[in-house]
Amino acid sequence: MVDLPDALRAALLTETAGMPRKQLVAATQRLIGQYRSGSAPGAPILASATDAAAYAAYRMPATYAAIRGALAEAARSAPDFAPRTQLDIGGGTGAALWAAAAVFPTLTGSTVVEQSASATAVGRRLAGAAPWPAVRSATWLAGTLAQHAVLPGADLVTAAYLLTELGEAEQRGLVDRMAAAGQVVVLVEPGTPAGFQRVAAARRRLTDAGLHVLAPCPHGNACPLAESTAAGDWCHFAARVNRSAEHRQLKEASLGHEDEKFSYLVAARFTGRPGAGRVLRHPVQRKGQVLLQVCGQDGTVARTLVTKRHGRDYQRARKVRWGDAWPPPDGD
């Protein structure tokens, strides 16, 4: 379960306090519909102050959790990576700023590019409550990516849930610019087949540009799931998020949590810690055995049956979760 930083949870409540509930619920339902449609929007989606507040309240907890999950894997696969600067493109209300500061305490400065003035206004206010100077002092660049011919270079360059809002040529341009701007590039997209295919296309482009894939893939070969549509499978993961009472109210949902499905990629100008395999599905536990679906270092996906006869590995397999490395690094 991923919990929001206390300061963010409190700031989100302050942000929506006093706003008419009916309007917030209506904006939330409209945004849910737009994001579910999956098509690139013709105009900015976060168009008003109510939209931006609704987005922050109902959506940011989930995007924060997914981005944090991806960044935690970046940290695991590159233990010596100690970024000082971050560039976040399409930053919305700032989820990636908060997630990066939580994972990388070495960050001292961040820049956000965001086209929506309403999202920026909310993001700035929320950031003002952060315990991390890098978040509080972030520079917010107004306007679209196309309006910024020059982007600041940064150790860590992130774009979360952005490719989905861009046309194909713009997606390619974004990926190229991220590759040029950063030491480590992190992309996060919805964990749908279409979201995965966008990440897979970016992966091909980044490796063509000479970057190394650090996560989730334990190899730099072609992605076996992207190349084989016959498998009908796609690489995605899930982050469980607590829902506050307000979150439930806005989404008109009753469950106390939600599972945010996401696809992601971490690529870098340097090679990472040699990776183990990656667990691609919820492990299936039966009496005396655990069945794992693992993407391996050889670039193939295979089912691995771990039984009691495997001793220590069996104990580790019982604890391993969807998205974890397999076998776990020693000490985990």
Ligand X SMILES: C[S@@+](CC[C@H](N)C(=O)[O-])C[C@H]1O[C@@H](n2cnc3c(N)ncnc32)[C@H](O)[C@@H]1O
- Are the beta carbons of 199 and 263 closer than 8 angstroms? yes
**Selected binder of ligand X within 28, 50, 63, 171 (CB under 6 A):** 63
- State the number of CA atoms in the 13 A half-sphere of 301 facing the CB: 18
Taking the least distance from each CB to ligand X, the nearer of 37 and 254 is: 37
Nearest distance, CB of residue 113 and ligand X, angstroms: 5
Taking the least distance from each CB to ligand X, the nearer of 119 and 267 is: 119
- Are the beta carbons of 142 and 110 closer than 8 angstroms? no
Phi, psi of 56 (to 5 degrees): -60, -40
- Stretch in the footprint of ligand X (CB under 6 A) among 113-121, 191-199, 202-210, 246-254: 113-121
Identify the residue whose tokens are 């919805």. 190
Identify the residue whose tokens are 């999950």. 69
Q: Which of 272, 110, 96, 278 is nearest to 184 (CA)?
A: 272
Q: How many residues contact ligand X, by CB under 6 A?
A: 20
Nearest distance, CB of residue 330 and ligand X, angstroms: 34
Judged by CB under 6 A, does residue 190 bind ligand X?
Answer: no
Identify the residue whose tokens are 């590759």. 179
Query: According to CB under 6 A, which residues from 115 to 134 bind ligand X?
Result: 115-116, 119
What DSSP assignment string belongs to 97-136? HHHHHHH-TT--EEEEEES-HHHHHHHHHHHTT-SSHHHH
Judged by CB under 6 A, does residue 320 bind ligand X?
Answer: no
Judged by CB under 6 A, does residue 114 bind ligand X?
Answer: yes
- What x-and-dash track marks residues 39-58 binding ligand X by CB under 6 A? -----x-x------------
Q: Which of 283, 253, 81 is nearest to 184 (CA)?
A: 81
**Selected binder of ligand X within 5, 69, 90, 195 (CB under 6 A):** 90
What DSSP assignment string belongs to 42-87? SS-S--SHHHHHHHHHHTHHHHHHHHHHHHHHHHHH-TT---SEEE
Nearest distance, CB of residue 56 and ligand X, angstroms: 8
Taking the least distance from each CB to ligand X, the nearer of 145 and 151 is: 145
Taking the least distance from each CB to ligand X, the nearer of 188 and 301 is: 188
**Selected binder of ligand X within 58, 132, 161, 196 (CB under 6 A):** 161
| Structure tokens, 279 | 């667990």
Query: According to CB under 6 A, which residues from 195 to 224 bind ligand X?
Result: none
Question: Which residues are near ligand X by CB under 6 A?
Answer: 44, 46, 60, 63, 90-92, 95-96, 113-116, 119, 144-145, 160-162, 165
